[in-house]
Structure 1
Amino acid sequence: MKPYSVYLFDFDYTLADSSRGIVMCYRNVLERHGFHQVDDHAIKRTIGKTLVDSFSILSRVTDANTLETYRKEYVKEADQHMTANTRLFPETEEVLHALKARGARIGIISTKYRYRILELLGKKFPEGFIDIIIGGEDVKEAKPSPEGLLLAISRLGCPKEQVLYLGDSTVDAETAQNAGVDFAGVLHGMTTREELAVYPHVDILPDLTPLK
């Protein structure tokens, strides 16, 4: 893989494993509303999608007002449970420090809210270490819309050919394709190598270690 001057990452299942907290929050909301048969695997398969889309998939509810109620309840659950139940992958800190040491800039593009990402990363990295974070509240259209990725590239003022976007899901792969930037898959999540390989990619990595 060629070196890039900017590395932009998805968050969940790419830099961090927040699946325990995510499952807990979804389950608390779903069971409160009578959905007792949704298993953990089904919940994990929706990670990376918007909260509204995930609740619709898991509950089969389509009413917008009901889904918005579920979304708001999830956010309240996450305020209590998410950060305590999120862990960076073992290699994440070392890899990000190595990229910065080489002079690369790094950023995060996620459907997770920016303040939630900052809440966790503030305990691990000095202020300003991550050059840019685009969260769900910063865009009008969620991934696979390229809006967040293009916003980061614009703010960083870098040519697309110098940018690599890394993510664990087909949503991430499609986002990179829609933005016209290189993509590398990371097999930390629930998406298989075969599913990622359908999309344009420069590599599919077992974890982040090869970036060092």
Structure 2
Amino acid sequence: MLPFRAVIFDLDGTLADTLDDIADAVNHALACHALPLHSRDVYREIVGEGVTRLVERALPSDRQHLAESVREELGRYYVDHMLDRTEPYPEVPELLDRLTERGVPMAILSNKPETATRWMVDRLFGGWPFTAVAGGADGVPLKPDPAAVLAIARAIGVEPARCVYLGDTRTDMETAVAAGMLPAGAAWGFRDRDELLAYGARVILERPLDLLPILDGDT
């Protein structure tokens, strides 16, 4: 029996490079309010904890009262521009093919809002059999709270200790640790190796296909 029997993925920065479209959407919303814009590198550091936290971090400290209005404009823009420049990372389609061939259960858990998560996954990854796809939803705590990822493990029917959680941020590593899953860091994503290791990554993958030996017990 293989040591790990299921894989749960983060979405942004792990399966798909979404950073340009996120940056464009937030900057559009900021511009609509005559606020300073940010570079792609700034967004690389502030994404990952959900849209509310993203907007808080993007706003100047003396403009936090505009957060709700900025979030609303961001949402209106993003729904129409979500895939302008977003695409799967290299090797991700091949990895999903290989996992499907092996019969490995797969799921996705994102802090992106639920509707946007499902819409994006349907269009970019609809050809693969994900057992569960979940994003941020009312009444469900965001990562790093482990409640949602543990619910996915139950839905898959695999105990947490036999699941790999693959993500690219501190939030993802904290989620995996709290859930008792294997925290695997995606070095191709938004954050660097030092952050992933500092927050609990037990393995760092340099490329998506490096996941396959992990499933065979090579950790």
Q: Give the TM-score of the pair, scaled to structure 2.
A: 0.87
- 1:1-212 alignment runs, 5 A limit: 3-61=3-61, 66-126=66-126, 129-137=129-137, 140-212=140-212
* Identity, % of aligned positions: 27
Kept after mapping to 2: 8 A contact 1:55/1:61:
no
Q: Which structure 1 residue ranges, 5 or more long, are not aligned?
A: none
1:63 Cα deviation from its structure 2 partner: 7.8
CA distance in 1 between counterparts of 2:61 and 2:150 reads 32
1:39 Cα deviation from its structure 2 partner: 2.4
Kept after mapping to 1: 8 A contact 2:118/2:135:
no
1:150 Cα deviation from its structure 2 partner: 1.3
Q: Which structure 2 residue ranges, 5 or more long, are not aligned?
A: 213-219
In structure 2, what residue type is equivalent to 1:84? D
Q: Give the TM-score of the pair, scaled to structure 1.
A: 0.90
Judging changes above 3 Å, is the alpha-carbon distance between structure 1 residues 208 and 138 closer, same or farther for their aligned structure 2 residues?
farther
SS in 2 for 1:211: helix
Alignment RMSD (CA, Å): 2.1
CA distance in 1 between counterparts of 2:133 and 2:173 reads 18
SS in 2 for 1:8: strand
Describe the superposition over 1:157-212 as per-residue Cα deviations: whole angstroms up to 9, x where unpaired. 22111101000001111111121211100012231111111133331011212124
CA distance in 2 between counterparts of 1:36 and 1:60 reads 8
Give the paired residue count. Answer: 211
